[in-house]
Amino acid sequence: MEHIISVLVENKAGVLARVAGLFSARNYNIESLSVAPTPDSTISMITIVTSGEELIIEQIMKQLNKVIEVLKVVDLTEEDHIDRETALIKIGAKQSHRDEAIRIAQIFRAHIVDSTPQTYTLEVSGDSDKIQAVINLLKPMGIKEIVRTGRIAIARESA
Residues lying near other proteins in the complex (CB under 8 A) are found at 9-10, 13-14, 17-18, 21, 25, 55, 58-59, 62-63, 65-71
Nearer to other proteins by C-beta: 9 or 141? 9
| Alpha carbon separation from 149 to 9, 48, 74, 123 (Å, rounded) | 20, 12, 20, 11
Closest approach, Cβ 118 to other proteins, in A, equals 41
Residue 50, Cβ density class (10 Å: 0-12 exposed, 13-18 middle, ≥19 buried) = buried
Q: How far apart are CA 63 and CA 57, in angstroms?
A: 10
Nearer to other proteins by C-beta: 43 or 137? 43
CA angle (4 as vertex; 56, 150 as ends), nearest 5: 125
Closest approach, Cβ 67 to other proteins, in A, equals 7
Max CA separation in the chain (angstroms): 57
Nearer to other proteins by C-beta: 38 or 118? 38
Nearer to other proteins by C-beta: 62 or 109? 62
- Region of 137 (left: φ > 0; alpha: ψ -120 to 50; beta: rest) is alpha
Closest approach, Cβ 13 to other proteins, in A, equals 7
Closest approach, Cβ 15 to other proteins, in A, equals 10
Nearer to other proteins by C-beta: 70 or 122? 70
Closest approach, Cβ 102 to other proteins, in A, equals 48
